[in-house]
Amino acid sequence: MNHRYSYLFEPLIIRTHRIPNRIVMCAMNDNLAFPDGYPTEQQIDYYTARAAGGVGLMITGNAYIDEQASKISANQLGCQDDRLVSALARLVESVHAHGTVLIIQLAHAGPQTLPETIGFRQMVAPSAGEHASTARALSLVEIGAIVESFVAAARRAESAGFDGVELHCGHGYLLSSFLSPQVNLRTDQYGGSLENRARIIREIIERARAVVGSAFIIGAKFNSSDLVAGGFTVEDSLAFAQMLATVGVDYLGVSRGIAESSDHMIAPLYYERHQNVSAARAIRDAVSIPVIAMGAILDPGDADAIIERGDADLVAIGRGLIADPDWPTKAKRGAVDDIRPCIRCNECVALVDENRELRCAVNPHVGHDGKPLMPTREPLSVLVLGGGPAGCEAARTAALRGHRVTLLERHRLGGASVPEANPPFKRELNRLPVWYERQLEKAGVKVVLNIEASLEAIRERDPDVIVYAIGADPLLPQVGGVDTNSVVQATELLESPPPRGLDIAVVGAGFVGCETALHLAQNDNRVALVTRRGRDQVASDLNYTMKLALLREMGRADVTIVDHAIVQSIGPGKVSVLRADGSNGTSREEGLVADLVVLARGFAPQRLLADTLIDAGYDVRVIGEANRTGLIFHAVQQGFAVGSTI
């Protein structure tokens, strides 16, 4: 064992179950089940890969508990019908084969679902009102039926061989909504005091405990805070935790946030890691049952320290295990540098929220976990042009399959992701090119840096296949003054330490422009973000939680958004814009004070060399930004697809 992580790999007993280490795969919806709740082979492979990777305690994504209104997504795991027991047992058997303790999370979506997900029935909530405006209030009879549905689901889980269940009492789902004084406006025995608001949860636990065996684990996941005014508070969470500990709950998982604060529920890279650990510590100090800490715990050293300090008894890894199912095994043997890094871009979250199958920006194997790379029958000479994420993934994958791979890069590995990672809030991205550098070396890829990809250099190497991943060039607006010394591209500016004390106009409000504006504002500059779009379209190339977090941070940094504005000219110390007035359809010219103008208008693919190579008869595969792809997610997926099929 690597003794640096001895706390992380110490066993723990919950009821009669020996958990081999303190690593928990927390519940994450994956949309990999059949529409009727049955697990697919794809889903079983997904969980099995992470059990094989060394997870001690695994909690499935939330399973719905009835055919009424409990479902949250189209292809969600189910525990709502006795007919699922044998299918669920196959999942259990596959995970148990690797020594992992397996728990199924039970949930009722309540006001968090969509009508189309539940057969266009009306959503339900503790109360109808402002914060559940499209839901109807549950009757007492319906509350009783929901309690029984949870109990029946727990009984099915035990019959299928699960080691326990976890009740999802957080994130604005139905049980969380009952806990919230903002949403729960009832005046009967299920509303008012915390004791009353928690009544439905206590009833579920007490009824379930009465029908399952003594070894069966019952856990609960809940918010330390809803992070909204009038919602469930930190003080509520401490009292609720103590309440749960007295009614037979075996462990507590501490999360945070609801839909309105979802950027803090699953914190993207703009926020610090471990934001919920202090809350877990406070709850652990208040109860005598095991507590799970969660929230951007990505580094084995950090996880080990959390256990050592007594902040929690277990640590939940979510996105980190999506990125690398072998996270525990690699940590245990000290191969931390080989852990594929989660960059907290939340593309995984966004896909599931859109009712699509789970995928990962950095791990293209997700969703294909049971399909190993097929060795090539005909090893070829493969030349990869460009060392961004697309090129690196293509080179790595092709080499692992047995091809002879050379990668040419004019600067350094990482491509555009390297300058993007220079702002402190983007440092998470730095881990990816470092990981690729190590993996390319291990796979036998010959990496040649500081070389321009030219026809001569390519002919010299005489490749069988060329993977063209050179990228894109920044767009230059056709306006007066754009070629002056006071104008710089965002990608160039991010290569150097930021200026300070200036008036700066950033032109372009995609994520590059927004992140650049935030970076400059956080370094004591007065920043105006100029966009021809409306405010609702700012950072529209990001997923919802990333956009929400970035806009919040821009607001805190006092970035001014100049919307519906088209740059007319750039002069000494100013930018002239034509700004539309949406209320009456007119436009007016405005002048913005600007010591520096930063361009972030997007990119144009570099295709000239690719077309030349194709005309010369080479087998060329075009990927990444050269194929109009701007996000790391798409770049890695394309690189893997090409590397897998050469």
Contact, 78 vs 29, CB < 8 A? Answer: no
Question: What's the token pair of residue 416?
Answer: 């555009």
Question: What's the token pair of residue 15?
Answer: 């009821």
Contact, 21 vs 307, CB < 8 A? Answer: no
The residue ranges of DSSP E strands in 482-610, in sequence order, are: 487-489, 503-507, 526-530, 560-562, 565-571, 574-581, 586-593, 596-599, 603-605
* Measured distance CA(70)–CA(64) in Å, rounded: 6
Angle at 262 (CA atoms; ends 341, 110), nearest 5 degrees: 125
Look up 173 and say whether it is catalytic.
Answer: yes
CA 2 remoteness from chain centre: 29
Question: What's the token pair of residue 191?
Answer: 């509303």
* Measured distance CA(209)–CA(155) in Å, rounded: 10
Q: What separation in angstroms does the CA of 529 have from each of 104, 420, 473, 501, 563?
A: 46, 17, 21, 16, 8
Q: Which one-letter DSSP state was computed for residue 538? A: T
Contact, 521 vs 553, CB < 8 A? Answer: no
- Return the closest-CA partner of residue 105 out of 148, 154, 68, 176: 154
Other C-beta atoms closer than 10 Å to the C-beta of 548 total: 19
631 Cβ neighbours under 8 A, 6+ residues apart: 345, 347, 361, 541
Q: b/e string for 144-153 if b means 16 or more Cβ within 10 A?
A: eebbebbbbb
The single residue listed with the structure tokens 């492979």 is 45
DSSP string across 7-61: TTT--EEETTEEESSSEEE-------S-TTSPPPHHHHHHHHHHHHTT-SEEEPS
Task: Report the relative pairing of strands 381-385 and 465-468 from DSSP bridges.
Answer: parallel
Question: What's the token pair of residue 150?
Answer: 């949870």
SS3 386: coil
At residue 211, what are phi and psi to the nearest 5 degrees? -110, -10
Q: Where are the alpha helices (DSSP H) in 526-583?
A: 544-556
Bridge partners of 575?
570, 592
CA 186 remoteness from chain centre: 35
Q: Is the dihedral of CA 560, 564, 570, 575 positive or negative?
A: negative
The single residue listed with the structure tokens 């303190």 is 22
Catalytic residue among 173, 190, 436, 618: 173
Bridge partners of 407?
384, 447
* Measured distance CA(138)–CA(2) in Å, rounded: 53
Instruction: Check residue 7 and give left, alpha or beta (phi > 0: left; psi -120 to 50: alpha).
Output: alpha
Catalytic (active-site) positions:
173
